[in-house]
Amino acid sequence: MGTQHTGSEIEARQERLPRHIAIIMDGNGRWAQQRKLPRHAGHRAGVKSVRMVVEQCARRGIEVLTLFAFSSENWARPRQEVNQLMDLFMNALRGEIKRLQKNRVRLCIIGERRAFSEKLQKRIADAEQATENNDGRPLQIAANYGCRSSVSKASRRLPGLRLV
Do the Cβ atoms of 58 and 137 come closer than 8 Å?
A: yes
Do the Cβ atoms of 104 and 58 come closer than 8 Å?
A: yes
Beta strands 64-71 and 20-24 are parallel
Q: Which stretch binds ligand FPP (CB under 6 A): 56-64, 83-91, 130-138, 155-163?
A: 83-91
Residue 131 beta carbon to ligand FPP: minimum distance, rounded to whole angstroms = 16
Q: Which is nearer to ligand FPP, 148 or 156 (CB)?
A: 148
**What is the set of active-site residues?**
26, 74
By the 10 Å C-beta count (0-12 exposed, 13-18 middle, 19+ buried), 66 is classed as middle
Q: Is 130 one of the binding residues for ligand FPP (CB under 6 A)? A: no
Residue 69 beta carbon to ligand FPP: minimum distance, rounded to whole angstroms = 4
Helices (H), the chain: 7-15, 28-34, 39-60, 79-95, 97-102, 118-131, 147-157
Binding map of ligand FPP across residues 16-45, x = CB under 6 A, - = no contact: ---------xxxxxx------------x--
Q: Which is nearer to ligand FPP, 146 or 155 (CB)?
A: 146
Give the Å distances, CA to CA, from 153 to 46, 60, 110: 29, 33, 12
Do the Cβ atoms of 53 and 7 come closer than 8 Å?
A: no
- Cα 119 → chain centroid: 19
Among 57, 58, 89, 139, binds ligand FPP (CB under 6 A): 89
Residue 74 beta carbon to ligand FPP: minimum distance, rounded to whole angstroms = 5
Q: Is 90 one of the binding residues for ligand FPP (CB under 6 A)? A: no
Q: Which is nearer to ligand FPP, 29 or 107 (CB)?
A: 29
Binding site for ligand FPP (CB under 6 A): 25-30, 43, 46-47, 69-70, 74, 85-86, 88-89, 143
